[in-house]
Amino acid sequence: MEEPRTKTKLWYHWLNVRFRQYMILEIFFVISLIMVLCRLQTISNQNDRVLEMVNSMHSRFGNMERKLEAFVSQKSNQDEHQFESNKPLEQSIDDVLKNKIFPTQNSTEKMEPVVPQVKQYTSNTAKSTSKVPIRKETFRFNAADFLSGASVDNDHSSSSSLNPLIGYDQTNLVLIDRPEPPADKAWCTNDENPVLTINLAKYIKPISVSYQRSKWNGTIPNGAPKTYDVAACLDFNCKKRKPLVSNCQYNQHESRKTEQMCNISSHLEVPLIGKVQFRFRENYGDAKMTCVHLVRVYGETTTPAKIEQKSLESEEICTDLRWYYYNSYFRYTWTNKNCTLLYKNDCCFECPDCCEECLISDYNGSTLGDIVENTFLGIVVVIAPLVFILAILNILSIICSRLYNGTCF
């Protein structure tokens, strides 16, 4: 019995000495090695993002260079054509002048003076002989686009799944103008007569409205709007309305187009409006829930949409978000990635999945910090008065006990 105990003591003594004298250095070495490997991995990831950004910029610059070369060649061809067309005119004028100054003896025709043709343009002066009306070119634009400033008026709309009791309001997803709205970001309501009221980005004279659904195969899914009306709100509460279109139908047999439009009559006398109301009358399948994916309200403008060149900062933002999405779920969740940021910086080309899954107000590091801060403040607001009341009661109890040699409560 003594021999095993002696061996056990020897092993314990050896492990104890080994751990105290050597393991501390080995543990420190392992921790240092792990930190160095993490740092190398971070540097490698940063290099990958930089290379990806440089490649994307190089491709964009190549496209710009090709467009510039095509424009220059087209411009040179136009100049050559214009020069060739002006050449015969100059030759004819020279011939006329020669014939007028040095007439030939064999010529028997009467020479008439050459009167150059002058085009008359519109003039506001009294000396103008004719006025030619010049019609300004008009462009169509979507005044119900969230990215341009439009928003859903929740106070005068039906309750929807995008505006839960707990969580952020995502109702404006139904107004993001994109080629294909995602199927899981629809504005769904259980109201029998759903109403969607929209504050437009600017006051317009409407020319058409449209509804677009996400891609579908075969038959239109149940719950999709079938017929709807659109009215212009003449007051803030939308109690006074002017009908714009009625019985606008979303047809499942109309050439497989996901967006279907209803034109507004040009003879309809409607003032400039800043708020419209979609009133859905019937859905497919007579379902209890009606789901709306994307609505648009078109107006006319004389200024075309500006196409801004993508900046270097936007390139960096889009490249980082793309790398985070496909390589680091934690960092993508922690960073800011709402729809406004993605679409304003034109990140849908680099990361289409990011734009498809974006939210109006997403959950990220700052929002989680706000949630924790608000929760802590709520606890403090609730607990602080209780602590204060208990402290006052304790002080009163001490005072009473000293005055009356007992307890007052």
Residue 193 has pLDDT above 60, yes or no: yes
Asked if residue 142 lies in contact with residue 297, where contact means CB atoms within 8 angstroms, the answer is: yes
Residue 213 has pLDDT above 80, yes or no: yes
CATH superfamily of 139-301: Galactose-binding domain-like (2.60.120.260)
The predicted structure's pLDDT at residue 130: 42
The CA–CA distances, whole Å, from 354 to 44, 89, 145 equal 23, 60, 19
What's the sign of the alpha-carbon dihedral 144, 150, 156, 161? positive
DSSP state of 267: T
How far is CA 312 from its chain centroid? 19
How far from each other are the two terminal CA atoms of the chain, in whole angstroms? 69
Asked if residue 195 lies in contact with residue 277, where contact means CB atoms within 8 angstroms, the answer is: yes
| 387 pLDDT tier (thresholds 50, 70, 90) | confident
What's the sign of the alpha-carbon dihedral 239, 241, 246, 249? negative
And the tokens for 125? Answer: 């002066």
The helix or strand, by DSSP H or E, that contains position 140, with its residue range, turns out to be: strand 139-142
| 388 pLDDT tier (thresholds 50, 70, 90) | confident
Q: Using the CB atoms, write b or e for 90-100: b if 16+ within 10 Å.
A: eeeeeeeeeee
* Residues in CB range of 120: below 8 A, 6 or more apart: 128, 129, 130, 132
Beta strands in 264-330 (DSSP E): 273-283, 290-292, 294-301
The predicted structure's pLDDT at residue 111: 37
The predicted structure's pLDDT at residue 305: 67
| 321 pLDDT tier (thresholds 50, 70, 90) | very high
d(CA 161, CA 158): 10
The helix or strand, by DSSP H or E, that contains position 261, with its residue range, turns out to be: strand 259-263
Mean pLDDT throughout 19-31? 63
Neighbour tally for 304: CB within 10 Å = 10
Residue 143 has pLDDT above 90, yes or no: yes
d(CA 80, CA 82): 5
CA-wise closest residue to 289 among 192, 216, 215:
192
Q: What is the mean pLDDT of the chain?
A: 76
Asked if residue 342 lies in contact with residue 355, where contact means CB atoms within 8 angstroms, the answer is: yes
The helix or strand, by DSSP H or E, that contains position 33, with its residue range, turns out to be: helix 24-101
Which of 127-131, 192-196, 330-334 is the most confident on average? 192-196
This prediction has a pTM of 0.61
Domain residues of the chain, as ranges? Answer: 139-301, 312-357
> Mind giving me the DSSP string for 180-229?
S--TTS-EEE--SS-EEEEEEEEEE-EEEEEEE-----SSPPTT-EEEEE
The predicted structure's pLDDT at residue 225: 92
Choose between 85 and 174: higher pLDDT: 174
The predicted structure's pLDDT at residue 64: 64
The predicted structure's pLDDT at residue 405: 63
Place of tokens 């008359």: 120
Strand partners, 151: 199
Residue 67 has pLDDT above 70, yes or no: no
